[in-house]
Amino acid sequence: MPELTSATQKLIRKYQIWHESLKPKREVVTIQVDEVASRVATFYEKIREVVDWREEHLMRRIAIERILKRRMFLKKNTENTAEPFVWELIRGGHFPNNKIPKEKIAKIQKLINKYAFILSGSPLPPKDKTKSEFYTQILEIAACEVEEVLAPYPRLRADALIEYMEQLMRERIKIGKKAQDFAKITEEEKNTQIYIATQQALFKLDSPIISYNLLKRWYPDWSNPSPITLKEITQNIHLILDNIEKSFSHPLASKFYKVCERYDTPCLLLGDVLSQEPTEIEEKIREPEILERLIKEVYLKRLKNLKLRVRRAAVYSTMSIFLTKGVLLYAVEIPFAKYVMGQCDRLAEVADILVPTFLMALLVVTIRPPKKKNLQLVIMKAKRYIYKDDKKDVYEIELYPKRGFIFKVIIGLFYLLSFGLCFGAIFWLLYWLNFPPLSYLIFIIFTSLIAFTGTKIRQRARELHVTEERDSFLNFILVPFSLPVIQLGKWLAARWKKYNIIAVIFNFLIDMPFLIFVELLEQWRYFIKEKKEEIH
């Protein structure tokens, strides 16, 4: 019978601790919001999900961040912020009703005070960063901690799996000579890059969550710092954030991610197996035949869920972009066309909506499921991770061969040519469809965003693949001409969060009045209940 690795045994114990933590504890007083007010608020939050669309697993944190920003906006005194803040989160359906202990409110208040102290006591940000960017960055991290305090159990399981894969990758990743000569990477930097790439590959975590995890790693008492430590962190916060940003932009970061992304599937499936029955699983997975059966079961289940997630992501991302597109079309493009050109072409209007929609549909429909042999490769790789084996795989981080000056010039010119041909073809099509000049710019912006989002969805759909994607001849021809559009979409997506017009309208014109309405509704409901209780 094969022997389990010490890392696998440790992972099983951590999953058993997680499983025990789910069992009901002592009776505690929980936060209970009004059901009617909650249904109204939850409906509104569903609309916000379309406006603020991000990947599904990030939506709750995005909502926490948005509500926290509103609650702390222009407030000098943040005392008594936690209670209405937590109630709003529960009312909006982000956390379960009648499940969160009331004692958590004090923890959230302490947390808010900590981040408010950092914001108010820190030095001025460096010249390349505005106060607004610094404020946003700190509250993004604060939102991650709020989520962890209010829902700690999912994080216990996720952290255990991250630690497991990180250890596996540390033992297997080797830095090639050219990569080492180029980056001069230290052992500490290598471990940090593995830690970041593991989180990105396993759970598709974004920079705020990873930043928060790095802070906890660098400052073990981050969640409850002493006054001296908090003051030290506050004075050095810009240096700390700069070190985090340097870690994200490391020259070998994409190489580490590529390796971790390719080999994360066995870890994900092992996590799924342990989640089902962690108390009795150790003896079962010692038997290779039973392990194979369990991995196959969770593989097929995850494949089914992945297809649903891809469809949902495609719908939500398209709706989010086209909600803004529709507003721009009727508020800006059509009035501009009538004023400048004297008329508005109906064919151009239809194409303005249908072409990007068709592009997204094409990107999603052409996603290929994993081949049958992929499952066997996953099982084989999982066994190598789970059972002791003297021969460990080696995953090399290496650079592509250097190109000479002439080749660099030729490739650069070819890329510029593909850029010109791609956007030239788009401009010609828009001219032929009689688009007004302003619509050229807006159409290209939204098509680029759709292309980038669709490409990301396609990458997410490869979650279970352990083989490299093979390019077809058609891809070989099309990719050089599609890359400029995707690269532009990537650049625009980074700014979409800041300049999402519909999100701005919702934040300033709808959020606050709606919040007042929901709170008034809730108070009215409580008033009616009190009056009913007086009748006896």
Could you read off the pLDDT of 74-86 as tens digits, one per residue? 566 778 889 989 9
Name the residue with tokens 């059901």: 35
pLDDT reported for residue 456: 80
Question: Taking 70 as the threshold, does the pLDDT of residue 62 lie above it?
Answer: yes
* Dist CA 495 CA 68 (whole Å): 21
Range with top average pLDDT, 183-187, 323-327, 386-390: 183-187
- The encoded tokens of residue 417 equal 């040519």
* 395 phi/psi in degrees, rounded to 5: -110, 115
pLDDT for the residue 233:
94
Q: What is the pLDDT of residue 252?
A: 94
Asked if pLDDT for residue 343 goes beyond 70, the answer is no
Instruction: Give the per-residue pLDDT at 420.
Output: 82
Band of residue 163 on the pLDDT scale cut at 50, 70, 90: very high
Give me 226's structure tokens: 């002493």
Residue 298 Cα distances to 5, 147, 265, 272, 533, angstroms = 21, 27, 11, 6, 51
pLDDT for residue 353 is more than 90 = no
Q: Are 62 and 144 in contact (CB under 8 A)?
A: no
Average pLDDT of span 49-62: 69
- 505-516 burial string, b = 16+ CB within 10 Å, else e? ebbeeebeebbe
The rounded percent of the chain whose pLDDT value lies above 90 is: 35
Output the average pLDDT for the chain: 82
Q: What is the pLDDT of residue 226?
A: 92
How many contiguous H segments (helices) and E segments (strands) does the chain have? Answer: 24, 2
Which is nearest to 121 in space by CA: 138, 142, 105, 141? Answer: 138
- pLDDT tens track for 485-517: 888 888 877 766 555 555 555 555 556 565 666
Q: Has residue 53 got a pLDDT over 60? A: no
**31: alpha, beta or left? (left if phi > 0; alpha if psi -120 to 50):** beta
Contact 481, 422 (CB under 8 A): yes
DSSP-based three-state secondary structure for 503: helix
Q: Indicate the helix (H) or strand (E) that contains 448.
A: helix 437-460
445 or 498, greater pLDDT: 445
Angle at 489 between CA 488 and CA 490, to 5 degrees: 90
Lowest mean pLDDT among 154-163, 290-299, 413-422: 413-422
DSSP bridge pairs for 89: none
Which of 41-50, 195-204, 502-511 comes out lowest in average pLDDT? Answer: 502-511
Query: Given a cut of 90, is residue 165 above it in pLDDT?
Result: yes
Residue whose structure tokens are 């009616």? 528
Integer Cα distance of 466 and 265 in angstroms: 7
pLDDT of 43 reads: 65
Higher per-residue pLDDT: 292 or 322: 292
- pLDDT given at position 528: 62
Q: Check residue 476 and give its pLDDT.
A: 63
Residue 90 and residue 42 in contact, taking contact as beta carbons nearer than 8 Å: no
174: DSSP letter: E
C-alpha–C-alpha distance, residues 37 and 520, integer Å: 9
Distance CA 132, CA 497 (A): 13
User: In whole angstroms, how far apart are CA 529 and each of 39, 508, 522, 523, 525?
Assistant: 18, 33, 11, 10, 6
CB 446 within 8 A of CB 356: yes
Q: What is the pLDDT at residue 289?
A: 92
Give percent of the chain with pLDDT exceeding 70.
77
The predicted pLDDT at position 262 comes to 87
pTM, two decimals, is 0.82
Tell me: pLDDT of 153 over 70. yes
Contact 270, 11 (CB under 8 A): yes
Task: Tell me the mean pLDDT in the region 176-183.
Answer: 88
Q: What is the pLDDT of residues 213-246, one digit of tens each?
A: 999 999 999 999 999 999 999 999 999 999 999 9
Task: Name the more confident of 281 and 144.
Answer: 144
Q: Alpha helix locations (H) across 345-436?
A: 346-365, 372-386, 405-432
Q: Higher pLDDT residue, 372 or 354?
A: 372
Dihedral sign of CA atoms 80, 86, 88, 89 in order: positive
Q: What is the pLDDT of residue 129?
A: 86
pLDDT for the residue numbered 346: 67
pLDDT tier at 321, thresholds 50, 70, 90: low
Model confidence at 172, pLDDT cuts 50, 70, 90, reads very high
- Name the pLDDT band for 171 (thresholds 50, 70, 90): very high
Q: Is residue 408 pLDDT above 70, yes or no?
A: yes
Q: Which own/partner pairs from 75-79 qualify as long-range (CB within 8 Å, at least 24 positions apart)?
A: 78/112, 78/113, 78/116, 79/109, 79/113
- Cβ atoms 208, 148 nearer than 8 A: no
Provide the pLDDT for residue 78. Answer: 77
Q: Are residues 234 and 290 in contact, defined by beta-carbon separation less than 8 angstroms?
A: no
